Amino acid sequence: MVQTISYAATGAFSSLLTDYIAGAPALASFYGRRPELAAFPAQIAEKQAAYPPEMRQRLVADLRAQYAELGGEIPPAVAANLDLLARDTTFTITTGHQLNLLTGPLYFVYKLVTAIKLSQELKAAYPQYDFVPVYWLATEDHDFAEINSFPLFGKTYSWAGPGGAAGLGGPVGRLGLQGLEEELLSQLPAEVPAAFREAYASSRNLSEATRRLATSLFGEYGLVCLDADRPALKQALKPLLVKELTEQFSNQAVQATDARLVAAGYKPQVYSRPLNLFFITDEGQRERLEPGAQALAGLLALAEAEPARFSPNVVLRPVYQEILLPNVAYIGGGAEVAYWFQLKDVFAALGVPYPLVLPRNSALYLSRANAGKLAKLGLTALDIFKPLAELKKQVGAQLGQEEVSLAAQQQALAAAFEQVQTLAQRLDPTLVKTVAAEAQKAAGSLASLEKRLSKAAEAKHETAYNQLTTLKDKLFPDGGLQERTDNVLSIWLNNPDFIGQLVAAFKPLKLEFAVLTEG
């Protein structure tokens, strides 16, 4: 069963995201078209006019090479989509994510399913075009600490990386997998499907492993995985590199946008630097470029001869993506939507179409057991988003608990002391402070009694309240959304049809939070 709740009602998302979903006028200048079905024909026409045939040829050729490097047979749906990408009537729906081990948090899966489902919905609405879901692997990221662990059934599984800290600091996609088997894979529960282990055991580096795993999970839906840290693809960066190195254009554009965002009441998500580029050293490290630190002429020569030595940061990565792909929509989490709103003028400066920006689907998954516990407490699936104190009151009312409130008594007490204070003022003003102190002391005693009486009332139903607290903590780990902590295996091992159920349940353009209850 699928139910929906507004993003705002969950209390878990930023005002920028909920305002965007609501169509707040204050945000209208920071994006292009609204994420609505009717907006796609114009978006397609704009991209079709700006996307050169040679870029499509470059993209398809390198994608075929990437899949050939994996070896084995390409899933038929993926092979079909690679063929479709060669046609000028095919467009992509893209989402990006870090190379989290064994998929990391649930929202990685939700991103990919959103891209898959939106591609299906667009094909049904506009059959004259084809739409291919693309996973842009964040292979050039160098923050290994964000991806090297994940929790499963109360235990955290971690990998120190090849050679420990000495081997880190470069693009994570290039990392070899030494030590992963001993430190992590061999420690996994026996029931973890073989595909999760084999993706890493059969790969040379983290990029390959992530592509294998994503393909094994989503290949039947035609998901295409793209690693853009490739010499052939980096050739497309040359005009951007020259403009950034000579004009530092992206920082100027972002700073102007940030000022408007702040004026509109929003906080910029990412920090723009004077140069939004990294450089890959001979040792494979990804180092930040600073204006004046290197000779401009030398950098320009390298940009022409070896563009693969350069790596865009968070500000320029989206532009690189949209240069490479025939893309019409980007799907991201709340933080990603926020920083894309800082980039519209960066796209304009390069003459690259700005895509539709769509929040990914978010969801809460209720197992049959947890749904039963909710029902036993007299709560619905949507009730669980309320604060715990409010839920306790709701459960208590259903269990017949008397609500304890001494508010009326506090008012009466205050009125009585006010009369005493008036009398003291008339008879002996030096006693006014004494009366006020006694009033405060009495009010405190009454408040303490109220708490003790409330606890006594709760004690009658302590078992139910403990069950409620445990359930709330399980569904909202550390007070946050389930999707930000739990790994897909925590659901899939008990429900192997989970991904198919997500594909059936998600409605990307409805822009609502989904609650999925196991049938």
Q: What is the pLDDT of residues 136-145, one digit of tens each?
A: 999 999 889 9
pLDDT given for residue 416 in this prediction = 86
pLDDT-above-70 percentage for the chain? 97
Q: What is the pLDDT of residue 165?
A: 54
Cβ density class 239-272: b for 16+ within 10 Å, e for less: ebbeebbeebbbbebbeebbeebeebebebbbeb
Q: How many whole angstroms separate alpha carbon 141 and alpha carbon 311?
A: 9
**C-alpha to C-alpha distance for 161 and 205, rounded to whole angstroms:** 11
Note the pLDDT tens digit of each residue in 355-383: 999 999 999 999 999 999 999 999 998 99
Q: Where does the pLDDT of residue 178 fall: very low under 50, low under 70, confident under 90, or very high at 90 and above?
A: very high
Q: Any idea where the domains of the chain sit in the sequence?
A: 2-238+317-362+494-517, 239-307, 403-459
DSSP state of 306: -
**The pLDDT of residue 401 is above 70:** no
CB 77 within 8 A of CB 219: yes
> Is pLDDT at 201 greater than 80 in this prediction?
yes
Residue 518 CA to residue 248 CA, distance in Å, equals 52
Model pLDDT for residues 457-469, shown as the tens digit of each residue = 666 567 888 899 9
The structure tokens listed for 58 are 């470059």
Coil/strand/helix, residue 204: coil
What's the burial of 446, exposed, middle or buried (CB within 10 Å: 0-12/13-18/19+)? middle
Is the predicted pLDDT of residue 471 greater than 80, yes or no? yes
- CA of residue 266 relative to chain centroid, distance: 19
In order, the DSSP letters of 239-278 are HHHHHHHHH-HHHHHHHHHHHHHHHTT---SS---SS-EE
Torsion angle (degrees, nearest 10) of CA 378, 383, 388, 389: -80
The dihedrals phi and psi of 476, each to the nearest 5 degrees, come to -130, 75
Predicted pLDDT of residue 79: 98
pLDDT value, residue 259: 98
Share of the chain above pLDDT 90, in %: 81
